[in-house]
Amino acid sequence: MQKSLIKVALLGAGTIGGGVYKLLNANSKIIEQRIGSQIVVSKVLERNARRCQELGMANNLIANSIDEIIDDPEIDIVIELMGGIDPAREFVIKALEKKKSVVTANKDMVALHGKELFAAAIKNKVDLLFEASVGGGIPIIRPLKQCLAANHIQEIMGIINGTTNYMLEKMSQEGLDFDLVLKEAQSKGYAEANPSSDVEGFDAARKIAILASIAFNTRVTVNDVYVEGISRITAEDIAYARELHYVVKLLGIAKEAPEGIEVRVHPVFIPEQHPLASVGDVFNAIFVKGDAVGETMFYGRGAGEMPTASAVAADVMDAARNLNNNVRGLVGCTCFEDKPIKPIGLTISKYYIRMQVADRPGVLASIAYEFGRYNVSLASVLQKNTLGDSAELVLVTHRVKEQNLRDSLDKIKLLDAIVHEVSNVIRVEGEDVKA
Positions annotated as catalytic residues are 207
**Binding residue (CB under 8 A) for its own copies from 147, 346, 348, 414:** 147
167 forms part of the interface with its own copies (CB under 8 A): no
Please state the closest distance from residue 111 (CB atom) to its own copies, in A: 20
Cis peptide bond upstream of 195, omega within 30 = no
Q: Based on the number of CB atoms within 10 Å of its own CB, is 153 exposed (0-12), middle (13-18) or buried (19 or more)? A: buried
107 carries a ligand binding annotation: yes
Which regions of 200-259 does DSSP assign to beta strands (E)? 226-227, 246-257
10 forms part of the interface with its own copies (CB under 8 A): no
| CB within 8 Å of 152: residues ≥ 6 apart | 256, 290, 291
18 carries a ligand binding annotation: yes
150 forms part of the interface with its own copies (CB under 8 A): yes
Please name which of 105, 135, 111 lies closest in space to residue 285, comparing C-alpha atoms: 135
Binding mask 206-225 for its own copies (x = CB under 8 A): -----------x--------
**Binding residue (CB under 8 A) for its own copies from 5, 40, 49, 149:** 149
Stretch that binds its own copies, among 262-270, 288-296, 375-383, 397-405 (CB under 8 A): 288-296
Please state the closest distance from residue 285 (CB atom) to its own copies, in A: 8
| CB within 8 Å of 157: residues ≥ 6 apart | 251, 252, 253, 276, 286, 287, 429, 430
Measured from the CB atom, the residue of 330 and 414 that comes closer to its own copies is 330
Measured from the CB atom, the residue of 95 and 306 that comes closer to its own copies is 306
How many residues sit close enough to its own copies to count as binding (CB under 8 A)? 59
Beta strands 246-257 and 260-271: pairing type? antiparallel
Helices 15-26 & 28-35 angle (0-180, nearest 10): 70
Measured from the CB atom, the residue of 153 and 230 that comes closer to its own copies is 153
3 forms part of the interface with its own copies (CB under 8 A): no
As a dihedral over the C-alpha atoms of residue 229, residue 16, residue 327, residue 36, rounded to 10 degrees, the angle is: -140
Neighbours of 298 (CB within 10 A): 16
294 forms part of the interface with its own copies (CB under 8 A): yes
Q: Based on the number of CB atoms within 10 Å of its own CB, is 383 exposed (0-12), middle (13-18) or buried (19 or more)? A: middle
164 carries a ligand binding annotation: no
**Binding residue (CB under 8 A) for its own copies from 93, 111, 313, 412:** 313
Could you say which residues in the range 125-144 bind its own copies, by CB under 8 A?
Answer: 131, 137-139, 142-143
173 forms part of the interface with its own copies (CB under 8 A): no
As a dihedral over the C-alpha atoms of residue 101, residue 106, residue 112, residue 113, rounded to 10 degrees, the angle is: -20
Please give the Cα distance from 180 to 423 (Å, whole number): 19
Could you say which residues in the range 334-363 bind its own copies, by CB under 8 A?
Answer: 334, 336-337
DSSP secondary structure letters along 312-354: HHHHHHHHHHHHHTT-TTTT-----B-PPBPPGGG-EEEEEEE
Binding site for its own copies (CB under 8 A): 19, 23-24, 26-27, 30-31, 33-35, 131, 137-139, 142-143, 146-152, 217, 275, 278, 290-301, 304, 306-307, 309-311, 313-314, 316-318, 321-322, 325-327, 330-331, 334, 336-337
Binding residues: 11-18, 107, 192
